[in-house]
Chain A
Amino acid sequence: MNYTIKQLSIFLENKAGELSEFTGVLSKNNISIKSILLADSTDFGLIRTIVDNPEKAKTVLEDEGFSVRFTDVFGVKIEDVVGSFDKAVRALSKAGINILYTYSFYEANTGIFIFSVDKDRFDDAIAALQAQNIEIVQAKHFYM
């Protein structure tokens, strides 16, 4: 099973129209955004996104002059009940895995939390979650 999701990180300047230029490039190229998170500082922002065709997205974005980076992340299915996110975080924490960042999105009654961890602990994280019977989303879930 492949759990490695290729997340794109894109550098953006904080100026009007930047985000729409980014979304425009994707829609023009028929790329669907599955999840997106925008982090910002005073003069620049960082988009983290999961799309249905990351390779193509990277190529077309770079062609338009965007600075793009791939980061391997995984998605964890979380039920909409108290304590389920806590369970996943605890499993990772117990295994001594540092969560770099996490963000979520929802599909019907379940949510998917995207996790980024240190590269060399990726497999350990998957194993730790599976040991707790936590469902991890397969990469193909997002892709065409």
Chain B
Amino acid sequence: MIWSKEETLPRHKLTELQTERLKDTVARVYTNVPFYQKKFEELGITPADITSIDDIVKLPFTKKKDLRDNYPFGLFAVKKDAVVRIHSSSGTTGKPTVVGYTRADLDTWNEVMARVFTMAGVTSEDTSHNAYGYGLFTGGLGLHYGAETVGATVVPSSGGFTSRQLMLMKDFEATVLTSTPSFALHMAEAAIAEGYDIQKDFKLKCGIFGAEPTSLGLKEEVARVWGIHYCEIYGLSEIIGPGVSANCFESSDLHVFEDHFYPEIIDPKTLEVLPLGEKGELVITSLTKQAFPIIRYRTGDITSLDRTPCKCGRTHVRMKSVMGRVDDMLIVNGVNVFPSQVEHVLSNIEGITLNYQIIADKKGYLDKLEIMVEVTENMPLDSIGSLEALKKKIQHELLNNLYINAEIKLVEPRTIERSVGKAVRVIDKRNLS
């Protein structure tokens, strides 16, 4: 099943549509966003230079830093009264990144999310149990309205409270589960531990999973243990939230809804656009966004694109499941963490050095984070109680500022290995491949 006709537009029609929409977006950001106007002038271009979608390479890139620098509303292209929703990242190193939506943007979001649900085989007869977090994070509301748009019954369960979620999934006869893949596995494990018979007690037929990099093994395990079809979804709040791309029944690669979001792959070092099939950094331009249009946004995600026809009939380009990151960002149980953010939190705590190491690992199916922190040479504390309190304080500050739950291990000064060049701040043992 396919939700809308744009998904099967012949290539040339799609290109025409993209050209028209890009020209419109460029004109709007040039007129309404001083940041882009300045960038265009620096490059010596005007909207008149953009006559086809291929001219996109002339446009400047936008980076996460640009969003922070223009906090909160500097990149908005409409007046505040046209904005009906705001989402935001946690953002502790400096300012958070803020994104806004007009009524039309929310319609676009619902539209692309409806495509995802339809792609996963969800109809108005289904009940969708939504265990993505609600709030400033775009996951919860994105999946919520998508399911409503296709007419499914939504259970807005949000994260946590596993036992209760299992009870609701059983009693309300959920047929669709939407959550991070690691939480889906965690729930399966909890269900077995609580004595549920997964195949008998639950009516799930599919799940829509995303928000964290996921190995093929983990996907297969989620599909197997729940006995469901696994649909992967990709998105980021800077572009719209979840709903930038998703995979159909025919392929494990994800169709990018390129009538709304135009993807390119670049070499993150030279910034050259790479040919189809080559691995590089995904760059996305929004083609229809009103409140917060974004030009050539560098996602930091590494993938490749494939335009060969898909058996499902959709003509939209497919991207491979994200293989990694350009920067050192960690995704821990769906939450983005930069080592620099951890460092910032640590720098405000006395009695420890800024030599630390973050160790990401799996505990069961969930991510587990351990942070080794060196106490200073001139130890300020001389009782176990005060050292334990220091540990708790670090833990609390990280949770409060970054929403991450980390085990803290205090170590002696100079025990964390110094490397000659760049310090090894992160050890990721999760093995995604």
Interface residues of A (CB under 8 A from B): 9-13, 39-41, 43-44, 46, 48, 62, 65-69, 71, 100-101, 116
Which residue of A48, A66, A100, A116 contacts B412 across the interface (Cβ within 8 Å)? A66
Residues in A neighbouring B227, C-beta threshold 8 A: none
Interface residues of B (CB under 8 A from A): 375-384, 387-388, 409-415
Distance in angstroms between the alpha carbons of A40 and B388 in the assembled complex = 11
Residues in B neighbouring A46, C-beta threshold 8 A: 382-384, 387
Which residue of B376, B382, B410 contacts A44 across the interface (Cβ within 8 Å)? B410
Residue pairs across A and B with Cβ atoms less than 8 A apart, 14 shown, are A11-B387, A11-B410, A11-B412, A13-B412, A39-B384, A41-B388, A44-B410, A46-B384, A48-B382, A66-B377, A67-B377, A68-B378, A68-B379, A101-B383
- For residue A101, which residue of chain B has the nearest CB? B383
Chain A binding surface SS class: strand
Judge whether A41 and B412 touch: CB under 8 Å.
Answer: no
Residues in B neighbouring A67, C-beta threshold 8 A: 375-379, 412-413
Tell me the number of A-to-B contacts counted with CB atoms below 8 Å: 57
Residues in A neighbouring B413, C-beta threshold 8 A: 65-67
Distance in angstroms between the alpha carbons of A116 and B410 in the assembled complex = 24
Tell whether A13 pairs with B382 under 8 Å between CB atoms, given A41-B388, A44-B387.
Answer: no
Judge whether A69 and B378 touch: CB under 8 Å.
Answer: yes
- For residue A40, which residue of chain B has the nearest CB? B384
Residues in B neighbouring A12, C-beta threshold 8 A: 412
Tell whether A13 pairs with B415 under 8 Å between CB atoms, given A44-B410, A67-B379.
Answer: yes
Distance in angstroms between the alpha carbons of A39 and B381 in the assembled complex = 13
Tell whether A11 pairs with B384 under 8 Å between CB atoms, given A43-B410, A66-B413.
Answer: no
Residues in B neighbouring A9, C-beta threshold 8 A: 379, 381-382
Extra A-B contacts (7), CB below 8 Å, given A9-B379, A66-B412, A69-B382: A9-B382, A11-B387, A11-B410, A43-B409, A44-B410, A67-B376, A69-B380
Distance in angstroms between the alpha carbons of A19 and B411 in the assembled complex = 14
Residues in B neighbouring A65, C-beta threshold 8 A: 377, 412-415
Distance in angstroms between the alpha carbons of A127 and B384 in the assembled complex = 29
Residues in B neighbouring A40, C-beta threshold 8 A: 384
Distance in angstroms between the alpha carbons of A41 and B387 in the assembled complex = 10
Rounded to whole Å, the gap between the CB of B359 and the closest CB of chain A is: 14
Tell whether A13 pairs with B411 under 8 Å between CB atoms, given A40-B384, A46-B384.
Answer: yes
Judge whether B377 and A68 touch: CB under 8 Å.
Answer: yes
Residues in A neighbouring B381, C-beta threshold 8 A: 9, 69
